[in-house]
Amino acid sequence: MTQTEQVLAAIEAGMAESTARWMEFLRVPSVSANPAHLEDCRAAARWACGQLEAAGFAAALRETRGLPCVVARNQAPEGAPRLLYYGHYDVQPADPLDLWRSPPFEPVLVDGPRGPRMVARGAVDDKGQVMLWLEAFRAWHQTVGHIPANITVVLEGEEEVGSPSLEPFLTANMAEFAADAAVISDTNMWDIDTPALATRLRGVIYIQIDLKGPSRDLHSGLFGGSALNPINALTAILGRLHDSEGRVTIPGFYDGIIPPSAEELAQWRAIGFDEAAFLGDIGLAHPAGEAGYSALERLWARPTADLNGIWGGYQGPGSKTVIASEAHAKLTCRLVPGQEPGRILASIKAWVGAQLRTIPGGADATVTFSGEGGGPGTEISMANRLFAPARAALRDEYGREPLLIGMGGSIPVVEMFKRVLGLDSLMLGFGLDDDQIHSPNEKFELRCFRHGMRSHARFLGALSAGW
Amino acid sequence: MTQTEQVLAAIEAGMAESTARWMEFLRVPSVSANPAHLEDCRAAARWACGQLEAAGFAAALRETRGLPCVVARNQAPEGAPRLLYYGHYDVQPADPLDLWRSPPFEPVLVDGPRGPRMVARGAVDDKGQVMLWLEAFRAWHQTVGHIPANITVVLEGEEEVGSPSLEPFLTANMAEFAADAAVISDTNMWDIDTPALATRLRGVIYIQIDLKGPSRDLHSGLFGGSALNPINALTAILGRLHDSEGRVTIPGFYDGIIPPSAEELAQWRAIGFDEAAFLGDIGLAHPAGEAGYSALERLWARPTADLNGIWGGYQGPGSKTVIASEAHAKLTCRLVPGQEPGRILASIKAWVGAQLRTIPGGADATVTFSGEGGGPGTEISMANRLFAPARAALRDEYGREPLLIGMGGSIPVVEMFKRVLGLDSLMLGFGLDDDQIHSPNEKFELRCFRHGMRSHARFLGALSAGW
């Protein structure tokens, strides 16, 4: 029996305990977007610290400008590869709460069409994925006595609010994070039987737009026809965000985009992605994106502009004949490699102002922007040193070759690790498209959890062989 | 001393008691839009019943399909004119609560630039205005022993939600409401020194638009570029509500409009309305309405379309990269004489559907409409029999001729009284444009309250002379 086989046997024997630990982690409502959950976030960090210590790591909570990072290090054999493992202990807000079938922070294992699944906020994003390597570390440590890699762990608590403190923290402590490469588990498999490695990630920028008009709420009869209506104005502006072909109208939005290579496009075509089924799962039948591109291009290689929230005026029962004094919206754009986040944020601001000036009375409105942030899209080189052992581990675990894919979601830390620490990242993820991350009833299949732990354990074993 | 002079003296002597009764009325949070305040609405109705009994009326709460009406009748000298007094005991919701300087249902007299003013939800609309004639009735009853008119009072409790029960109630009890004309106090003076009589009222229609797209909230990275975003779609639709000249784009919206007469336009020009000052009071400098019309035409004789509320997705602190499954908006249109409410509601619905079909993926969205209602704009004939005594009463009280004006707001009951009961209405109102009705810190100047009571008392006296 090889060391890896011993570790895999230990993982099988310890499934119940691993699941119980995972549920402990999920019970902590570590919602970083809501200041009321600050203490819960710190509790989640302390819990993860304890887990790393149990896996043989020296671990500590390290203060940042915001929520603390968990930083941990192990002792490995001389010459072993140096890896930086990244994850996050914070989760998205759980609302709308009334759409959850069970309370979001009371994890439950329920039967699904593919066996048991864990339902809870953070079940997969990112607590479930973090558990995969925490448990693999623990199994290597307890079975073999060491982990065959020099590992530094950094677990942050602000990923869901754009990681505002991570970069200053990394920059201030760069020497601690020197490594050969980074490992990140925050992505999806192709499907439950087919692992995937991501070679392309979209970036994201976000901005809140606040438009103020009259100094107070007004009666729409006494003032309608003379006074600027901020909700009318905001919808007039944001209603122009796309043209009739689904293209974003912000000037310069598409400048500099690096299209996918012919090889990537050929791979994506070969995948045989079924957009009808993809949309059917969420009750839709017609693609809503940009005309002239395939589904996978629209999801992986084209930028988007999505309003994530809008509000103003009266939202209660019945009618209220008011002209509200303010209106608000939250906008995010998914970016692809070649687009510059700062330039696009500046373009959005200029564009909103220019649209406002075309609206009768718009000159009186004041627009303010807040919560700006984000990062660019990223390409991950297939020449990355971790690719070969990762492909081998996944091939051995699943009995098939992993697909090389793009990712529609954004993992800004990938770009940050490259820029700040000079590290390439390996995306070793085990989520599924229907996991409902950021939505009510987020779940993670127990089957993905099991194969995910085993894949991480195999990857560590493959590293010791192939480095 | 004439009877009218005796009554005016009694009003002067009783100011403190009148004010105290007014405050009692204002303390009842009779918000008809919110089912949680149903019992408060009934309490306000019972309170008004007691007041009418104290003024010599036989009064009762009468059940309707919704909130009850207060109906009351007095005993008057033979041959006296028969008048139907109308008001409403319900008030608008008080939110946004955080903008109130004192609690909305704890009335306070505070010093203002024009003397003391009462601050409370309903201070003027319509509890304060109803108090004016309640107190005039009481003073006539207690001083002279009778009121010189055969009066039927109908006070409803659903004006702020579109009076859904009033018309069925009137229709079922038409004989009780036979009268020579109606008197309604729910309108404004020209300014604090200049009374006004309205000859033209805008109508209003309202509708809520609910747009549903995907079956659940989605991650904007995993689905953005493929899945329909309902907030994007709703803003794209509603953003087309006006053209660049401020004209409403709904087909047929302007059909059939009866323009003001040359005489009305001449009167309005002579008023010398200062739109810059009007807008300056609410922090604006530029008119926002339709191009090509004077300010008073835009406010009194042109229709509008105002979004009163919009909501969807994430509205909390920070960012949330979600594609929400739903988006919602509340729309009202002010209508002018000649526009047909039912036809315009149908046009709005058809237009929303047509716009949606132009949006990529829009075919998958479902739009539903709710809360539809409203009434047309109304012209009030100057040949109305109550005009002469009303002009005399106002001239005597203020020492100047009342202005004949239009009204931007809607009093659908005026149209309903004409259509159902065949009655012309006299608008005898004492509000001011800056009273902040429907807004935080609604107020009514004590000076308006005093002259309003006196004017109503004089009007009743003038009736006995001039009928």
Q: What CATH number does the domain containing B238 carry?
A: 3.30.70.360
Q: What pLDDT score does B403 carry?
A: 86
* Cα maximum dimension of chain A: 84
pTM summary value? 0.76
Q: Are residues A340 and A433 in the same domain?
A: no
Q: What pLDDT score does A404 carry?
A: 82
Q: Are residues B80 and B151 in the same domain?
A: yes
Given B342, B375, B408, the domain boundary residue is: B375
Q: Are residues B369 and B393 in the same domain?
A: no
Q: How far is CA B63 from CA A114, B130, B265, in A?
A: 58, 20, 44
Interface-testing mutation among B186, B306, B332, with chain A (most A C-beta atoms within 10 A): B306
Query: How many residue pairs bridge chain A and chain B with CB atoms within 8 Å of each other?
Result: 407
- Report the C-alpha gap between A12 and A293 in whole angstroms: 44
Q: Which CATH number fits the domain that encloses residue B183?
A: 3.40.630.10
Name the minimum distance, in Å, from the CA of B427 to any CA of chain A: 15
Where in the sequence is the domain holding B308, given as residue range(s)? 203-257+303-375
The owner of tokens 């069970």 is A102
Q: Which residues of B touch A311 (CB under 8 A)?
A: 310-312, 315
Total domains in chain B come to 2
Q: Strand A218-219 relative to strand A203-212: parallel, antiparallel, unpaired?
A: unpaired
Q: Strand B181-184 relative to strand B425-427: parallel, antiparallel, unpaired?
A: parallel
Q: Are residues A349 and A405 in the same domain?
A: no
The secondary structure element, H or E, covering residue A219 is strand A218-219
Q: How far is CA A232 from CA A244, B305, B335, B359, B382, in A?
A: 20, 9, 18, 19, 36
Q: Which residues of B touch A295 (CB under 8 A)?
A: 226
> Which member of A227, A332, A361 has the closest CB to residue B319?
A332
Contacts of A346 by beta carbon, 8 Å cutoff, 6+ apart: none
- Report the C-alpha gap between A124 and A381 in whole angstroms: 26
Name the minimum distance, in Å, from the CA of A450 to any CA of chain B: 23
Residue B162 vs residue B288, higher pLDDT? B288
Query: B409 vs A202: CB contact, 8 Å cut-off?
Result: no
Q: Are residues A44 and A174 in the same domain?
A: yes
Q: What amino acid occupies position A134?
A: L
Look at phi and psi of residue B221 and say left if phi exceeds 0, alpha if psi is from -120 to 50, else beta: alpha
Contacts of A201 by beta carbon, 8 Å cutoff, 6+ apart: A377, A378, A380, A406, A407, A409, A410, A411, A414, A415, A427
- Report the C-alpha gap between B80 and B149 in whole angstroms: 5
Confidence of residue B409 (pLDDT cuts 50, 70, 90): confident
Structure tokens given for B465: 């002379």
Query: A224 vs B440: CB contact, 8 Å cut-off?
Result: no
Q: What is the DSSP letter of B278?
A: H
Q: Which residues of A touch B330 (CB under 8 A)?
A: 313-315, 319-320
Contact A107, A27 (CB under 8 A): yes
Strand partners, A232: none
Other CB atoms within a 10 A radius of the CB of residue B240 amount to 18
Write the DSSP string, A84-150.
EEEEE--B----SGGG-SS-TTS-EEEEEBTEEEEESTTSSTTHHHHHHHHHHHHHHHHHHSS-SSE
Q: How far is CA A429 from CA A66, A220, A426, A452, B351, in A?
A: 27, 53, 9, 8, 46
Structure tokens given for B111: 């010093």
Query: B282 vs A215: CB contact, 8 Å cut-off?
Result: yes
Q: Are residues B247 and B183 in the same domain?
A: no
Main-chain phi, psi angles of A242, to 5 degrees: -125, 150
- Report the C-alpha gap between B228 and B312 in whole angstroms: 14
- Report the C-alpha gap between A165 and B293 in whole angstroms: 54
Laid out side by side, the sheet with A115-119 consists of A108-112, A115-119, A443-445
Q: What is the DSSP letter of B242?
A: B
Write the DSSP string, A16-79.
HHHHHHHHHHHTS--BTT-GGGHHHHHHHHHHHHHHHHHTT-EEEEE--SSSPEEEEE----TT
- Report the C-alpha gap between B362 and B360 in whole angstroms: 5
Q: How far is CA B140 from CA B2, B106, B132, B144, B456, in A?
A: 12, 30, 12, 5, 10
> Which member of A92, A236, A329 has the closest CB to residue B320?
A92
> Which member of A321, A437, A440 has the closest CB to residue B308?
A321
Write the DSSP string, B106-119.
S-EEEEEBTEEEEE
Interface-testing mutation among A314, A326, A369, A434, with chain B (most B C-beta atoms within 10 A): A314
- Report pLDDT digits (tens) over B237-274: 999 999 999 999 999 999 999 999 887 898 899 888 99
Given A360, A375, A390, the domain boundary residue is: A375
Give the side-chain half-sphere CA count within 13 A for A2: 10
Q: Which residues of B touch A67 (CB under 8 A)?
A: none
Of A120, A191, A248, which Cα lies nearest the Cα of A429? A191
Give the side-chain half-sphere CA count within 13 A for A426: 25
Name the minimum distance, in Å, from the CA of A308 to any CA of chain B: 5
Residue of chain B with shortest Cα separation from A227: B288
Does A281 reside within a domain? Answer: no
Query: A222 vs B34: CB contact, 8 Å cut-off?
Result: no
Q: Which residues of B touch A438 (CB under 8 A)?
A: 217-219, 320-322
Name the minimum distance, in Å, from the CA of A231 to any CA of chain B: 6
Laid out side by side, the sheet with B115-119 consists of B108-112, B115-119, B443-445
Q: Which residues of A touch B202 (CB under 8 A)?
A: 221
- Report the C-alpha gap between A240 and A77 in whole angstroms: 59
Strand ranges in B185-234 using DSSP code E only, listed in sequence order: 196-201, 203-212, 218-219
Q: How far is CA B133 from CA B5, B11, B137, in A?
A: 16, 11, 6
Q: Strand B69-73 relative to strand B150-156: parallel, antiparallel, unpaired?
A: antiparallel
Interface-testing mutation among B321, B332, B415, B442, with chain A (most A C-beta atoms within 10 A): B321
Query: A231 vs B34: CB contact, 8 Å cut-off?
Result: no
Q: Are residues B35 and B180 in the same domain?
A: yes
Residue of chain A with shortest Cα separation from B228: A288
Q: Which residues of A touch B229 (CB under 8 A)?
A: 288, 306-307
Q: Which residues of A touch B305 (CB under 8 A)?
A: 232
Query: B96 vs A302: CB contact, 8 Å cut-off?
Result: no
Q: Are residues B436 and B310 in the same domain?
A: no
Query: A217 vs B330: CB contact, 8 Å cut-off?
Result: no
Given B355, B375, B395, the domain boundary residue is: B375
Mean pLDDT of B65-91: 95
Residue of chain A with shortest Cα separation from B158: A318
Of B350, B451, B313, B434, which Cα lies nearest the Cα of B395? B451
Interface-testing mutation among B279, B308, B339, B405, with chain A (most A C-beta atoms within 10 A): B308
Angle, alpha carbons B178-B184-B186 (nearest 5°): 155
- Report the C-alpha gap between B442 and B122 in whole angstroms: 7
Q: What pLDDT score does B113 carry?
A: 95
Does A265 reside within a domain? Answer: no
Kindly list the averaged pLDDT for each block of 10 residues, start to end, along chain A of length 467: 96 98 98 96 98 98 97 92 96 94 97 97 98 98 95 97 94 95 91 90 95 96 95 98 97 96 86 93 95 95 98 93 97 95 97 96 96 88 80 95 86 87 91 93 98 97 75
- Report the C-alpha gap between A166 and A62 in whole angstroms: 11
Q: Are residues B351 and B241 in the same domain?
A: yes
The secondary structure element, H or E, covering residue B326 is strand B326-335
Structure tokens given for A24: 């402990």
- Report the C-alpha gap between B435 and B195 in whole angstroms: 15
Q: How far is CA A243 from CA A240, A246, A254, B236, in A?
A: 7, 5, 14, 9
Q: What pLDDT score does A410 carry?
A: 77
Does A458 reside within a domain? Answer: yes
What ipTM was reported for this prediction? 0.75
Q: Strand B366-375 relative to strand A443-445: parallel, antiparallel, unpaired?
A: unpaired
The owner of tokens 């019943």 is B49
Name the minimum distance, in Å, from the CA of A284 to any CA of chain B: 6
Main-chain phi, psi angles of B420, to 5 degrees: -85, -45
> Which member of B235, B323, B439 has the closest CB to residue A217?
B439
- Report the C-alpha gap between B81 and B182 in whole angstroms: 11
Structure tokens given for A235: 């919808």
Q: Which residues of A touch B95 (CB under 8 A)?
A: 314, 316
Q: Strand B82-88 relative to strand B181-184: parallel, antiparallel, unpaired?
A: parallel
> Which member of A35, A275, A312 has the closest CB to residue B226?
A275
- Report the C-alpha gap between A21 and A108 in whole angstroms: 13
Query: A235 vs B231: CB contact, 8 Å cut-off?
Result: no
Contacts of B239 by beta carbon, 8 Å cutoff, 6+ apart: A235, A236, A237, A238, A239, A240
- Report the C-alpha gap between A123 and A27 in whole angstroms: 10
Structure tokens given for A166: 């991570």
Q: Are residues B59 and B160 in the same domain?
A: yes
Query: B321 vs A290: CB contact, 8 Å cut-off?
Result: no
Name the minimum distance, in Å, from the CA of A363 to any CA of chain B: 7
Contacts of A311 by beta carbon, 8 Å cutoff, 6+ apart: A327, A328, A329, B310, B311, B312, B315
> Which member of A99, A215, A436 has the closest CB to residue B283?
A215
Q: Are residues B371 and B383 in the same domain?
A: no
pLDDT of B383 > 70? The answer is no
Q: Are residues A219 and A70 in the same domain?
A: no
Q: Which residues of A touch B160 (CB under 8 A)?
A: 318, 320
Does A291 reside within a domain? Answer: no
Query: B361 vs A286: CB contact, 8 Å cut-off?
Result: yes
Structure tokens given for B213: 């797209």
Does B223 reside within a domain? Answer: yes
Q: Which residues of B touch A407 (CB under 8 A)?
A: 221
Does B280 reside within a domain? Answer: no
Does A284 reside within a domain? Answer: no
- Report the C-alpha gap between A429 and A189 in whole angstroms: 6
Name the minimum distance, in Å, from the CA of A437 to any CA of chain B: 7
pLDDT of B466 > 60? The answer is no
The owner of tokens 């090509």 is B292
* Least confident piece of the model among A91-105, A112-126, B401-415, B444-458: B401-415
Main-chain phi, psi angles of A15, to 5 degrees: -55, -45
Does A70 reside within a domain? Answer: yes
